[in-house]
């Protein structure tokens, strides 16, 4: 059956330095894919390239079997592939409801709804932002903003959300909550998660791709990855060292 995401032989170099080197990643429907790797290994570059924020030097990207290679970001988002940012990004000056409205506006007709806020209620409840509906987004806590970010993606009923470090800056308690939240989403849409926190990857991902300087050095079940000597030498070793 068709992959939800199928990226083939992606190449991208910045001034001769390979950010992505012949990288092929695919993701089955319903599967949650994790991506790990040291800083500057090209994880965010991968998201940027796939979601059209960055022009590729080579390679093709398919979403649900249809090509989205070289499309503009907003076209790709319309097609159902939508991303979040490493640093949380919401319209700080606007109230939560307006944030959702803007997020919904470009999609609701395509989805056959009558109102851009169709389904916003349930989302706010599910992400426990209900009582914050009228608050200005800038006044929310980081965790709340992270959740709002999710809501703004979910309202477009995407096929796949690419999350760039979704728990960045959260405390352990919040991280636990976030993981539960994301687990709850897996039924609705595909998740692609970049993380440094192994805990998140271990609990969330069905499969993990390890990136080092733009190349895939391992690809498999989280448990297996943890044992992979190559991965340990090139990446996890470093993580352990720092975490000690």
Partner 1 sequence: MAYRRAALVGLVILALALPFLFSASRFYAFILGVTYLYILWSSGMNLLSGFTGLMPLMYAGLAGVGAYTTVNLVMKFGVSFWLAMPAGALAAALVGVVLGLPSLRLRGFYFTLSGLVIQTALTMLFVYIPQFTGGDTGISQIPPPLISLPGDRSFPLAGVWLEEALAVAALLTVYVVHRVTQSTLGKYLVAIREDDLLTEALGIGVTRYRVLAFFISSLFAGVGGAFYAHYVGFVSPRSFDVLTSLNIWLIVGFGGQGTILGPIVGAVILAPIPYLMQEFYLYKDIVYGSLIVFTTIFLPRGVYGSLLFHRRTRTSARGKSEAARS
Q: Does residue 93 belong to the site contacting partner 1 (CB under 8 A)?
A: yes
Torsion sign over Cα 5, 108, 140, 73: positive
In sequence order, what are the residues at sequence separation of 6 or more whose Cβ sits closer than 8 angstroms to the Cβ of residue 63?
4, 5, 6, 76, 79, 80, 81, 159, 160
Give min distance, CB of 98 to partner 1, in A: 8
Both structure tokens of 18 = 């390979």
Q: Does residue 113 belong to the site contacting partner 1 (CB under 8 A)?
A: no
Q: If we measure between CA atoms, which residue out of 43, 48, 51 comes closest to residue 210? A: 43
Q: Does residue 82 belong to the site contacting partner 1 (CB under 8 A)?
A: yes
Mask: binding to partner 1, 137-156, rule CB under 8 A, as x and -?
---------------x---x
From CA 129, how far away is CA 151, in angstroms rounded? 9
The residue from 3, 53, 126, 196 that contacts partner 1 (CB under 8 A) is 53
Q: Does residue 103 belong to the site contacting partner 1 (CB under 8 A)?
A: yes
Q: Does residue 90 belong to the site contacting partner 1 (CB under 8 A)?
A: yes
Torsion sign over Cα 89, 181, 157, 94: negative
Q: If we measure between CA atoms, which residue out of 89, 64, 58, 94 comes closest to residue 76? A: 64
Looking at the chain, how many residues does it have? 244
Q: Does residue 118 belong to the site contacting partner 1 (CB under 8 A)?
A: no
The residue from 22, 29, 38, 94 that contacts partner 1 (CB under 8 A) is 94
Which range in 8-16, 93-101, 195-203, 236-244 contacts partner 1 by CB under 8 A?
93-101
Q: How far is the CA of 63 from the CAs of 20, 80, 159, 219, in angstroms?
A: 19, 8, 9, 20
Which range in 14-22, 73-81, 165-173, 225-233 contacts partner 1 by CB under 8 A?
73-81
Q: Does residue 157 belong to the site contacting partner 1 (CB under 8 A)?
A: no
From CA 172, how far away is CA 177, in angstroms rounded? 9
The residue from 98, 177, 203, 215 that contacts partner 1 (CB under 8 A) is 98
What does DSSP assign to residue 61?
E
Give min distance, CB of 151 to partner 1, in A: 12
Cβ pair 106, 156 in contact under 8 A: yes
The residue from 51, 145, 197, 219 that contacts partner 1 (CB under 8 A) is 51
Q: Does residue 123 belong to the site contacting partner 1 (CB under 8 A)?
A: no
Binding site for partner 1 (CB under 8 A): 51, 53, 72-75, 77-78, 82-83, 85, 89-94, 98, 101-103, 105-107, 134, 136, 152, 156
């Amino acid at each position: 059956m068709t992959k939800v995401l199928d990226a083939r032989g992606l190449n991208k170099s910045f001034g001769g330095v390979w950010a992505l080197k012949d990288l092929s990643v695919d993701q089955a429907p319903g599967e949650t894919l994790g991506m790990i790797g040291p800083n500057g290994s090209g994880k965010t570059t991968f998201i940027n390239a796939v979601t059209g924020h960055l022009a590729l030097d080579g390679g093709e990207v398919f979403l649900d079997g249809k090509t989205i290679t070289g499309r503009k970001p907003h076209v790709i988002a319309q097609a159902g592939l939508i991303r979040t940012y490493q640093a949380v990004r919401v319209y700080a000056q606007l109230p939560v409801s307006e944030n959702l409205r803007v997020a919904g506006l470009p999609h609701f007709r395509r989805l056959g709804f009558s109102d851009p806020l169709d389904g916003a209620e349930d989302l706010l409840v599910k992400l426990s932002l209900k009582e914050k509906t009228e608050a200005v987004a800038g006044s929310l806590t980081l965790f709340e903003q992270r959740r709002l970010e999710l809501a703004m993606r979910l309202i477009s009923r995407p096929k796949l959300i690419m999350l760039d470090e979704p728990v960045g800056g959260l405390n352990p308690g919040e991280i636990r909550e976030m993981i539960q939240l994301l687990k709850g989403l897996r039924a609705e849409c595909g998740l692609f998660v970049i993380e440094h926190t192994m805990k998140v990857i271990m609990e969330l991902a069905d499969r993990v791709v390890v990136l080092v300087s733009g190349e895939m050095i391992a690809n498999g079940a989280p448990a297996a990855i943890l044992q992979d000597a190559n991965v340990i030498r090139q990446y996890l070793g470093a993580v352990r060292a720092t975490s000690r």
